[in-house]
Structure 1
Amino acid sequence: MNIPLHGLVAATHTPFHPDGSLAPEVVPLQAAHLSKNGIRTVFITGSTGESHSLTRDERLAVFRAWAEAAPAHDLTVVAHAGSNCLEDAKVFAAAAADLGLDAVAALAPSYYKPDDLDTLIDCCALIAGAAPGLPFYYYDIPALTGVCLPMREFLAKAPERIPNLAGVKFTNDDLDDYSRCLKVGDFDIPWGIDEQLLAALQAGARGAVGSSYNFAAPLYRRLIQAFEDGDLETATRLQREAIELIEALAAVGYLGAVKAIMEWQGVPLGPARLPLANPSPAQLESLHEKFDSPVLQP
């Protein structure tokens, strides 16, 4: 069961009003902006979407907003359903199916953590089973969850328990494990670290899910085209430019800074929620020139 997640997939932000309350009415603007920049698939309420800072009702409201906005822009929607509470995760997965979204994903519980593959598979099976008609992606991001298990072994073992397993969103810098995953069965393994997209393409990646594709999709599309044309010099230069942009944002609070960049691009997403930081006016002013660069233009 496969959509698949090829090309650039934008891990979308959750929009808030300036006071931090949810602003689902902004989702159509997000959808239009991404579609205009060549994005065809979105990954909602994940890490970039601040999922762990949303209430159950807020996450469901975001699902509904994307279910309404996506068709007008021909966007495929992957709904992240992961939660420390597996009963909530099941509710999110079932809602994604009821709303007609295209796939479900889930990261591992990260407070009480699964400490072996069998437990991780049990957790994923509960979530995937709540939406058996949708492709299910495990979201591997050990830097945030603290769960670091070999994904090649997960892919070999999990289908017995998860018949709708489509693949893994691989946000893990273990390129050796990634390369091995690409050889296990007929799974879709989109890459999840924007700063290493070129290395993943060289390893065989066909798709990538990332936060910087919200505001810098034209740059990454040129990178992918250069790679496909065999122009590694240009692809390497563009990857370096992407890394420099990401580092500049991370220096002042990545998610809050990216939301500001999106506002400059016409999509007001509000601040990031605590405990994430937001840049000061002075920090934003110092970023503005860099992010008014022709590098980001189509």
Structure 2
Amino acid sequence: MRHKRVFWILIGDKNTGSSRIHGYNVHEALIKKGIQSKIQYNSTRALTRKEKLKLLLFLRKGDLLILQKRKELSLKKLLRYLKLKGVKIAFIDCDLPVCDITLVQYFDYIICPSSNLSELYKNKHPNKLVTYIPDAVEHFSNKIPSNNNKAIYFGWLTDNRMEQVKSLKKLFKSVDWDLVIMSNRREADIPWFNWEDEERFHIIGQHNVSLIPVVGDEASKYKSANRVLQSLALGNIVLCGDIEAYREVIVNGKNGFICSTPDQWLNALKELSNENKRSEIIKKGFETAENYSMDKIILKWISFLQL
């Protein structure tokens, strides 16, 4: 059965990374393909009784409702009634904890942007249709910046990760590399709170290196590679931590570097002192990113969701 209408309930607006990448961007790509798609709700708050009733009244058999990280158990009754009407339900998840079985039982499709998370869902729910669809690059740069010894960390920061990045900042400084922090924290070198503003791509692209470390906790194992892919598409050289999602994209020393220890971070920077090596890594990194363009990734969504 091909679904003719698609409706979305997102966890946030375009300033919320997961809602922008897995919600708005996919929604807009579907429209370009001639598929009827509408963002119905985009808020962290729970749906009101009136909003749920509205969904029950206008959604009809054959429609597809996509929930993006909506894990609140208060949706259970709504989903049960929608299933009785013949509405199909898809669920997108990108973080732990996994969704509760009381909701998963109503899902027809589950999409994860990391293979580890998709495998976790498959193991927990072997009778469900679960797939891994990598994140699509949001923006490709038209020009590569001139060589410089500037690195950038960009993204939200927890206290633990902030300490980690500050430590790496000192390490980079010891070999004459400047590392700037672009984040939601007031103490960041570049405080940044509007993540839908495309100016962020220009700022990130002014640095030769994107630093993407990982914290050694359970949740990190299930992260996607969106910052790695976006960095490659901007012409940045990626120095990233060692998790499965990053290893699926980065071939160490070929199109970026995977680092876990101080020596590995320093050795990667040392290799970049060779301008030919630097140029070759940038070229191969950009070629890697081209495999994750929205034009290519949206076909995976359309196929899996039977659109």
Task: Provide TM-score, normalisation by structure 1.
Answer: 0.36
- Rg larger in structure: 2
Q: Which has the higher contact order (CA 8 A, sep 6+)?
A: 1
- TM-score normalized with structure 2 length: 0.35
Higher share in helix: 1
